[in-house]
């Protein structure tokens, strides 16, 4: 049984919808046999490029073959992601209550009452516009977070933590590369199974990041036995909190949150949460008004069973694209890969509109596909292989200038409806990466002999290198001087390394050989053919020294 929000009117709509889906599925034509196609999918409409030649773009990872217009089976029925087996009745008394009442009822952490709490209360109270924007933004996600927290038996103060971490912005990115509503850094995200690849970043996924954050907080509470210490560890790291506790134990000091020595950010962290808790508990005491949030799901989860453009989902759902991305912020590309992103979130009415409109859609579902690059190549060469201009390929894949695309990279390229019938495989969807390398000649290690009065700076200038590099290669100071004839290590482009390797003495020999050649030629013109042998030897030495 799916968890739809049921009103009498919506029950009738769903009955018609269910009949539509059944009839559409029965009418679905059988899928054609798989074809050898080199590509996997991405999003916003791809440029209208000429299909590449038959030999182009080898090595595409494919999943099951299916007709590109087979929209009838591209999505499943919507469900409530937390309680998929329980229908939600919008006419129920509980659904009519203000969600803030439910949040307040679940507060269970001990209160802090310190000057830092007063300071943060004052900060928020003097910024009512900021609080209004933050709470309005939370209205999309708060019901789901509260449901998850209550299901686990955790205190509802934790539902307010995204106010502190990101102001409930799932697309927030910190200077430390922490991302999403719950602000996971890449390494911690990977530890809690949040995928991060070319097509998606689950640190921004509303459902996945909430699951991971609550898993982490439960683990920290199990380690420290105290929610304030668990929150400090969430901000500062469990190792740091553990060492701070050990330090206090060694000194015979208390080990509670307020007694530990910690960075300013962590000292303010729990007081910030306490201040927000106080604002939510008594908004009128701070001259604030909270926007009402209904006590029922804002969004439903719609299973995605075929690769499909994000813009097409939004259009069929009757939803602005920016609102779609607010609910599905994990997408890095304009295409949704069913193998890697098996569901999208849509507001209740829009979810029903989408599954109702999808079976009647006749165009291609996905404009893009993903190509795994078989060998390291220039972007211009890759573009030719897939039938794009170099500028289009660079823009679609954010390839900076003067970079090569390394073998194994996954590029987003146009999906041609008559050639690429397969969706992206799970292997590619879950492991897609972009690997780049500088488009510059390979460097070779070489040594040169220092001239009289040579220094790091003079050699760097002679070979057009940075003084810092020359100093680093030779383990000397940037202002150091070399002895005459001292071997100096340099890393030069292949050809330059050979051409510039000549020492001053070799150069002098070359000049002498050229002089000998000239004198011999003069003697030969005077009829002295005995000079022919030294002339040939002189030329060969000059050539050898100039290669």
Please identify every residue annotated as catalytic. 165
Three-state SS at 175: coil
The C-alpha atoms of residue 108 and residue 110 are separated, in whole angstroms, by 7
**CA neighbor of 107 nearest in space, from 150, 58, 157, 57:** 157
**409 contacts 372 by C-beta, under 8 angstroms:** yes
**CA neighbor of 300 nearest in space, from 181, 206, 209:** 206
**CA neighbor of 81 nearest in space, from 395, 345, 347, 439:** 345
Task: Record the tokens describing residue 330, joined without a space.
Answer: 């994990």
Chain centroid to Cα 147, Å, comes to 28
In the chain, what is the greatest distance between 2 CA atoms, to the nearest angstrom? 121
Q: In this structure, what are the phi and psi dihedrals at residue 172, rounded to the nearest 5 degrees?
A: -65, 145
Sign of the CA dihedral 422, 427, 433, 435?
Answer: negative
Task: Record the tokens describing residue 486, joined without a space.
Answer: 């001292």
Instruction: Based on DSSP, count helices (H) and strands (E) in the chain, helices before strands.
Output: 23, 14
Q: In this structure, what are the phi and psi dihedrals at residue 116, rounded to the nearest 5 degrees?
A: -65, -35
Beta strand ranges found along 4-70 (DSSP E):
5-6, 62-65
The C-alpha atoms of residue 445 and residue 448 are separated, in whole angstroms, by 10
Task: Record the tokens describing residue 268, joined without a space.
Answer: 């303010």
User: Which residues, in sequence order, are bridge partners of residue 455?
Assistant: 481
In the chain, the N- to C-terminal Cα span, in Å, equals 79
């Amino acid at each position: 049984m799916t968890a739809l929000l049921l009103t009498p009117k919506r029950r009738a709509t769903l009955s018609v919808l269910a009949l539509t889906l059944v009839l559409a599925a029965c009418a679905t034509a059988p899928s054609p046999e798989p074809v050898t196609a080199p590509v996997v999918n991405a999003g916003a409409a791809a440029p209208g490029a000429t299909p590449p030649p038959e030999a182009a773009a080898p090595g595409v990872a494919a999943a099951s073959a299916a007709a590109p217009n087979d929209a009838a089976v591209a999505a499943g029925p919507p469900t409530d992601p937390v309680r998929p087996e329980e229908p939600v009745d919008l006419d129920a008394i509980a659904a009519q209550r203000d969600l803030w009442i439910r949040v307040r009822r679940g507060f269970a952490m001990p209160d802090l009452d310190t000057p830092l709490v007063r300071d943060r209360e004052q900060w928020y109270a003097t910024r009512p516009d900021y609080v209004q924007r933050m709470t309005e933004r939370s209205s999309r996600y708060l019901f789901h977070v509260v449901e998850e927290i209550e299901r686990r038996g955790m205190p509802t103060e934790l539902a307010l933590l995204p106010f502190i971490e990101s102001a409930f912005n799932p697309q927030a990115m910190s200077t430390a590369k922490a991302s999403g509503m719950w602000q996971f850094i890449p390494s911690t995200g990977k530890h809690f199974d949040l995928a991060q690849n070319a097509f998606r970043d689950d640190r921004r996924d509303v459902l996945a990041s909430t699951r991971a954050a609550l898993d982490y907080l439960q683990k920290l509470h199990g380690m420290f036995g105290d929610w304030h210490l668990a929150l400090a560890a969430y901000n500062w790291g469990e190792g740091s909190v553990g060492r701070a506790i050990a330090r206090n134990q060694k000194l015979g000091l208390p080990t509670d949150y307020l007694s530990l020595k910690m960075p300013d950010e962590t000292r303010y962290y729990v007081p910030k949460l306490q201040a927000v808790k106080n604002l939510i508990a008594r908004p009128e005491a701070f001259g604030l008004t909270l926007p009402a949030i209904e006590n029922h799901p804002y969004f439903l989860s719609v299973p995605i069973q075929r690769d499909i453009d994000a813009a097409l989902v939004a259009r069929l759902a009757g939803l602005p694209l920016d609102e779609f991305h607010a609910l599905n912020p994990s997408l890095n590309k304009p295409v949704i890969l069913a193998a890697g992103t098996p569901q999208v979130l849509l507001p209740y009415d829009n979810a029903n509109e989408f599954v109702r409109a999808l079976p009647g859609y006749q165009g291609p579902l996905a404009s893009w596909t993903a190509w795994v690059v078989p060998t390291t190549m220039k972007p211009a060469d890759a573009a030719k292989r897939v039938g794009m201009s170099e500028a289009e390929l660079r823009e679609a894949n954010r390839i900076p200038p003067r970079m090569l695309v390394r073998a194994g990279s996954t590029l987003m390229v146009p999906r041609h409806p008559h050639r690429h019938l397969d969706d992206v495989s799970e292997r590619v969807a879950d492991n897609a990466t972009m690997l780049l390398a500088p488009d510059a000649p390979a460097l070779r290690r070489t040594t040169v002999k220092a001239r009289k009065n040579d220094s790091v700076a003079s050699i760097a200038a002679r070979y057009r290198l940075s003084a810092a590099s020359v100093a680093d290669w030779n383990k000397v100071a940037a202002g150091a001087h070399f002895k005459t004839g001292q071997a100096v290590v340099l890393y030069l482009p292949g050809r330059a390394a050979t051409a510039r390797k000549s020492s001053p003495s070799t150069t002098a020999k070359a000049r002498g050989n050229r002089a000998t050649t000239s004198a011999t030629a003069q003697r030969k013109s005077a009829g002295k053919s005995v000079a022919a042998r030294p002339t040939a030897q002189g030329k060969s030495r000059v050539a050898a020294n100039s290669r």
